[in-house]
Structure 1
Amino acid sequence: MNAVRVVVTRPERDARRWVRDLQQHGLQAEALPLIDIAALPDSQRLQQAWGEIDAYAALMFVSGNAVDCFFALKPTPVHADRAQEAADIVANDALAAATAPRFMAPGPGTVAALRHAGVPDALIDAPAADASQFDSEALWALVGRRDWQSRRVLIVRGQSARSGAPGRDWLARKLLAAGARVDFVAVYQRRAPVFTAAQLQRMETAAHDGSVWLFSSSEAVANLPARDWSQARAVATHPRIAEAARAAGWAVVAESRPALADIVASIESMQS
């Protein structure tokens, strides 16, 4: 049986990793990013957030891109490296560690980015590796029972170049309802790519040649050119994304837990 052709639609950096991992599982994967990520320039708001970082009970990062862009603009040497300070605190002072800011992540990709930035595991809150989903709801199930009254929380996120919209604010609304004081800082912009002629031709072919498209974002679905997708097949990593794909005309959409093994199994199950 021929290897399944998989079109990975994640932003370029993430797509490269997923292509490699899928190929190691015997799948014929290729990257066709449907979202471009562009870091926003340094801003007074971002520097203010860094300057007040000790005042926050928690920092929530919506994605690995949010982590990378936030830490890339860390002030130095005016302010100390808070992540390294946190590591020293955890290693040397358990009582002080209890008052250090928490770093919240919706899934393993964001956790990996936090670790790469130097944040110790002891300060990271994220859904368990075997959680059914990696999203705000799964994160809230973990942290929602804490006392958030009058606690300051910083949400580090991106924004859409098309609409300026920041994305879902579900977790922010939950925190506000729990009495928290929520601040926001945007550190990157999500853009629709300018597709090359070769990419447009690949989309046309993949719409009906049996390829399986891997969707991890509803915005990625929205960035597709208008065409007939009724013969195309997709795996979506969240029910909301699957709904967006079906609304765009995809007739065959499988939903998968957003972990590599589950995605591989879902893709392989779609082989003819």
Structure 2
Amino acid sequence: MTAWRLLLTRPADDCAALAEVLAGQGIFSNCLPLLEIAPLPVSATMRQAITELPCCDAVIVVSKPAARIAVDLLDRYAVTASTLPWFSVGAATAQILLERGLDASYPDEGDDSEALLQLPRLRAAVTANSRVLILRGEGGRELLAERLRELGASVDYLELYRRELPAYPPHELPRRIAAERLNGLVVSSGQGFVHLRQLAGDAWPTLAQLPLFVPSPRVAEQARAAGARTVVDCRGASAAALLTALREHPVAVL
């Protein structure tokens, strides 16, 4: 695995944490965060949704930023929601909820919407006429809401943040890749790939030749449609999922 020299693109704190894990395995990486989390101003609608959250039958949190902002809002408005079933798409997001004393569950296999929808506890919690609140950033997939509505649930979204592309000098992405002799790219979401493609600009046809590690079949399809030549689906956005994919692809073949 030491042949890999990876570009990491997660938000800054997550990027640093992943780089530390990789370094512990002898894998070189360089961080160029392509997602900057900007919390949305607390509106009257947002405050009402948080204060009424205990009336829900289930709460689904789709990301770590959503979890962090949500627990801060619960504390700010002294909302007790420890008796509710909470759900997340991954262990890291669930850990933030668990540390707040919330009853959080997540799928053991896979960390995406498809895996969450198969979770028996979620299926038990969501029945006809159930009220479900999904906490997320602006935009995103509609799959969770669509499937839960098919079960007869009433589903609402509460958007807590937006994902922005940090400001970089022109040509920073290809310059960084060349300077650090990087031979693999890692993105953790569809939005992260959109920003990668955007920042690449005219250099994309060249960068598209590099192996690209993505978290799900959906992002893999998105990347291939944009011209990425070698796409590796890690089946998850966690460090463990990436390490497994790197073990299965030990040599960077360009």
TM-score range, shorter chain: 0.7 to 0.9
Q: Which of 208, 229, 233 is equivalent to 1:255?
A: 233
For the residues of structure 2 that align with 1:188 and 1:136, how far apart are their CA atoms?
A: 19
Match of 1:95 in 2: none
Match of 1:169 in 2: 142
| Per-residue deviation, residues 211-237 of structure 1 (Å, max 9, x unmatched) | 211122122111123222242111112
For the residues of structure 2 that align with 1:204 and 1:261, how far apart are their CA atoms?
A: 24
> How far has the Cα of 1:238 moved from its partner?
0.9
Superposition RMSD on alpha carbons, in Å?
2.3
TM-score, normalization by structure 2: 0.86
> How far has the Cα of 1:243 moved from its partner?
1.7
| Per-residue deviation, residues 89-142 of structure 1 (Å, max 9, x unmatched) | xxxxxxxxxxx32111011121122123332xxx212101xx0x2111111101
SS in 2 for 1:156: strand
> How far has the Cα of 1:239 moved from its partner?
1.2
> How far has the Cα of 1:62 moved from its partner?
0.9
For the residues of structure 1 that align with 2:140 and 2:179, how far apart are their CA atoms?
A: 28
For the residues of structure 1 that align with 2:231 and 2:90, how far apart are their CA atoms?
A: 22
For the residues of structure 1 that align with 2:222 and 2:162, how far apart are their CA atoms?
A: 21
| Per-residue deviation, residues 178-208 of structure 1 (Å, max 9, x unmatched) | 111112111100112222357334355289x
Larger Rg: 1
Matches of residues 1-272 of structure 1 in structure 2 within 5 Å? 3-74=3-74, 76=76, 79-83=77-81, 86=82, 100-119=83-102, 123-128=103-108, 131=109, 133-142=110-119, 143-159=122-138, 166-197=139-170, 199-203=172-176, 205=178, 209=181, 211-224=183-196, 225-226=200-201, 227-228=204-205, 229-258=207-236, 259-268=238-247, 269-272=249-252
Q: What is the identity, as a one-letter code, of the residue corresponding to 1:223?
A: H
For the residues of structure 2 that align with 1:114 and 1:265, how far apart are their CA atoms?
A: 26
TM-score, normalization by structure 1: 0.80
SS in 2 for 1:26: coil
Match of 1:163 in 2: none
> How far has the Cα of 1:39 moved from its partner?
0.6
Pair 1:197–1:116, CA change in 2 (3 A): farther
For the residues of structure 2 that align with 1:117 and 1:256, how far apart are their CA atoms?
A: 29
For the residues of structure 2 that align with 1:266 and 1:55, how far apart are their CA atoms?
A: 41
| Runs of at least 5 residues in structure 2 that lack an aligned partner in the other structure | none
For the residues of structure 1 that align with 2:169 and 2:23, how far apart are their CA atoms?
A: 24
Cα contact 2:184–2:210 (8 A) shared by 1: yes
Pair 1:69–1:2, CA change in 2 (3 A): closer
| Runs of at least 5 residues in structure 1 that lack an aligned partner in the other structure | 87-99, 160-165
Pair 1:201–1:235, CA change in 2 (3 A): closer
